[in-house]
Amino acid sequence: MKHRRLLILAHGGAGTRTITAAQRSCLGDALAAGYERLRRGASSVDAVEEAIRILESSGLFNAGVGSRLQLDGARRMDASIMMGNQLRAGAVAAIEQVRHPISAARLVMEQTGHVLLVGDPATQVARYFKLERQPPPTYTQRTASRAAIRGRRSTQKMLSLYENMRREPLRVEPRETVGAVALDGDGSVTAGASTGGIPLMLPGRVGDTPLIGCGVYADNEAGAVCMTGVGEGIIRIAVAKEIVGRLATGTSPAAAAQWVLRKLARRIRGAAGALVLTPDSRFAIRHTTPHMCGGYWNGCGKPVVADRFK
């Protein structure tokens, strides 16, 4: 095995939008904070949670306080986290009024015998453990969201779908989901992700983020992966687990990510980005979208943040 070095990667979503100056700065802060936890001897779980909490708090990404409203005016969020040493995992879906869904996912992993909690029960667990709350959307926010939807011709079909409850596939651009993977001094990897979903999603829709093996996967025998993109496609390929499976055969992070992302595009025209990290410090950031807000830091120089990776 190659020399191991502390390392953290994080992303703020993949799509057609370029990274803003504020998002670049925030992602750098998240990487620095997560790495500082690693440097002080904390676990990769602590580092991933810390980095994602900063992104959730910023309001600059579609996660935590920045989560988009759904068609019925509610803010429902998903998150997950997985440890590579014991294959333990926790996730929440459609959780509401919680500032840090990633911390709720960790509570599910550490304080319950379950992996995934959804809806109001997940919210109740977060309240029981006194996680920091955020208020529900105001009337003004709901009205503004509704007006924006009605004001865009491209959204009328989705709005009609919601209002008439007809069944059709959702095809909507992903926006600024967040996630991270990290490697600690014990050689353990962790993957985590948090999202407010996709714009104009139907109430009840769940994407890849809280589904272990789809949005995230971590195994100390192979590596850790965190995805971002159109969740429906990522779920159908089970992308995170498939990338980790290829890592287990000795494939490099870059080659593993590229192979599976090409399969996603070829088989179902899916679009996604991936953070990939192995227990011996090899890593890759790859995407099939025009841009991916992402970065990494290994303690040398300053955190590297960009919106395109080869």
* CA dist., res. 242 & res. 121, Å (int): 31
User: To which residue do tokens 């209002």 refer?
Assistant: 163
- In b/e form, how buried is each residue of 181-199, taking b as 16+ CB within 10 angstroms? bbbbeeebbbbbbbbbbbb
Per-residue pLDDT at 45: 98
Integer Cα distance of 38 and 20 in angstroms = 27
**CA–CA separation, 101 vs 80, rounded Å?**
8
Residues 85-110 have a mean pLDDT of 97
pLDDT of residue 258: 98
- For residue 137 the two structure tokens come to 């959307």
Domains identified in the chain and CATH numbers:
7-306 (3.60.20.30)
Which two structure tokens, joined as six digits, stand for 298?
Answer: 């290994």
Rg of the chain taking only CA atoms, in angstroms: 18
Per annotation, catalytic residue among 16, 112, 177, 288 = 177
Q: What is the pLDDT of residues 108-136, one digit of tens each?
A: 999 999 999 999 999 999 999 989 888 77
In 3D space, the residue among 186, 52, 37 whose CA is nearest the CA of residue 106 turns out to be: 52
pLDDT category, 70, cuts 50, 70, 90?
A: confident
* pLDDT of 144: 60
Element (H, E) at 194: strand 189-195
- What pLDDT was estimated at residue 162? 42
The Cβ of residue 203 has, within 10 Å, a number of other Cβ atoms equal to 13
DSSP code string of 193-241: EEE---TTPPTT---STTSBTTTEEEETTTEEEEEEE-HHHHHHHTHHH
Please, what is the average pLDDT of the chain?
89
CA-closest candidate to residue 241, choices 93, 78, 80, 77 = 80
Assess contact for 84 and 162: CB atoms under 8 A: no
- pLDDT value for 202: 79
Look up 289 and say whether it is catalytic.
Answer: no
Q: Residue 154: CB partners within 8 Å, gap ≥ 6?
A: none
- 156-189 pLDDT, tens digit per residue, is 544 454 444 434 444 444 557 999 999 999 999 9
One-letter identity of residue 104: A
Whether 275 and 251 have beta carbons less than 8 Å apart is answered as: no
Helix (H, G, I), strand (E, B) or coil at 77: strand
Separation of alpha carbons 307 and 21, rounded Å: 11
Secondary element (H or E) of residue 14: strand 7-15
Whether the Cβ atoms of residue 56 and residue 64 lie closer than 8 Å to each other: yes
Alpha helices in the chain (DSSP H): 21-39, 44-58, 101-111, 119-128, 139-150, 156-164, 231-237, 239-248, 253-268
Q: Is the pLDDT of residue 201 over 90?
A: no
Tell the residue number behind the tokens 């139907």, with chain if given. 202
Q: Does 11 score more than 70 pLDDT?
A: yes
Written as six digits, the tokens of 219 are 């195994």
User: Confidence class of residue 147 from pLDDT cuts 50, 70 and 90?
Assistant: low
